Amino acid sequence: MSKADITSWDENILQVSVPMDSPLRQVNSYILPDEDGRITIIDPGPRSPETEKCWRAILQELGLSWKDVRDIVVTHHHPDHYGLAGWLQSQTGCKVWVTERAYAEAMLMWGSNTDINEVLPLYFIRHGMSEEWSSGIKAHLESFDAQVEPQPVVTYLNEVQPFGMGGREWKLIVTGGHAPGHVSFYHAGSGQMICGDAVLPQISPNVSLLPGSDPQPLQTFLQGLRELGSYPVSMAFPGHREPFMGFAHRVSSLLAHHEERLDAAAALLANGPLSGFAVCEILFRSRVTTVHQMRFAMSETLAHLAELMRRERAVMIEADGAILFAASESAGDHVS
């Protein structure tokens, strides 16, 4: 990489395109320069030889060195946002800031005592996933280990206090659904919102139900969208794709999308009990070609089925270790 891919927004925010695996291929990292020339890095990306090279090129392009990095901030625990934080910390010696809930989720996925790589395939099997798909889940999860090593020593963000970066004070807005403890940053003076993956243009953020995590992730996600949508936003800076205007409209579109998906899942159950995997195959039939995509499709389907149960539009049936979902008798009464 001879020249870093850096876009300047009002001189207050630098957008950096950091490479990652398909299907997304890139994640947005943001650099906020302080008046003294030091910088805060938000969401440095996953760790790989390519991203290490990318960050060396970025600093060279900006005429900076490792010692000029004041802080590293992570919006949420997913590898494409959190993964390089530990390596960058080893180069810079600076603090890595994250919410306490997000770090707990990182430990659920990659902590020394986690068993999620064994638990998740069995969980999917109980929900009807075929051997063809479930046999690849463990290796898929293990493939992320290299992207998050070394783990950073973290400092917890104080969720009720503004956080200073780029010479400005930012309000923290902590939501979940896509990732527990996800933090967005809002600057009232400019109307700028750094929203990570809480709100994305063109893409609907994945909402996953995982064992040991939030038992109602879709409810949490929808509540978070409503909170984020209550702020007057002039420009949103997302984790993927380009910064965008029309934030409130995008939030409304995402809310509507999930209501439509809930109705579609409920309609399937009206024909008789189905496993989560059977519902997933119908809802995502034409879009799942890899284990990576199936993991997210299955987890999102289960999140929607859990929300249907919370709204008393569906019930769970357990028999011989397997789990099915059926329409409830009160399915006609939609509770939101």
Taking the C-alpha atoms of residue 77 and residue 180, their distance in angstroms, rounded to an integer, is 8
137-143: long-range pairs with CB below 8 Å, 24+: 137/291, 137/295, 139/291, 140/291, 140/292, 140/295, 141/109, 141/116, 141/117, 141/295, 142/117
Q: What mean pLDDT comes out for the span 133-147?
A: 94
In the predicted model, is pLDDT for residue 13 greater than 90?
A: yes
What's the length of the chain? 336
DSSP 52-97: HHHHHHHHHHHT--GGGEEEEE-SSSSHHHHTTHHHHHHHH--EEE
Percent share of the chain, pLDDT over 70 = 96
pTM of the model: 0.94
pLDDT digits over 172-187, tens only? Answer: 999 999 999 999 999 9
Task: Give the C-alpha separation, 52 to 241, whole Å.
Answer: 21
For residue 6, pLDDT beyond 80:
yes
Question: Six-digit token pair at 262?
Answer: 């809930």
Both structure tokens of 325: 């979902």
CA dist 112 and 17 (Å) reads 31
DSSP 117: H
- pLDDT value at 312 more than 80: yes
Between strands 192-196 and 182-187, the pairing is: antiparallel
CB 91 within 8 A of CB 66: yes
Asked if pLDDT for residue 272 goes beyond 50, the answer is: yes
The confidence score (pLDDT) of residue 319 equals 83
pLDDT of residue 5: 85
Give 147-200 pLDDT, tens digit per residue. 999 999 999 999 999 999 999 999 999 999 999 999 999 999 999 999 999 999
**pLDDT band at 10; cut points 50, 70, 90:** confident
Range from 67-76, 240-249, 279-288, 326-335 carrying the lowest mean pLDDT: 326-335
- CA dist 80 and 174 (Å) reads 19
State the DSSP code for 190.
T
- Other beta carbons within 10 Å of 242: 13
How confident is the model at residue 336, as a pLDDT? 43
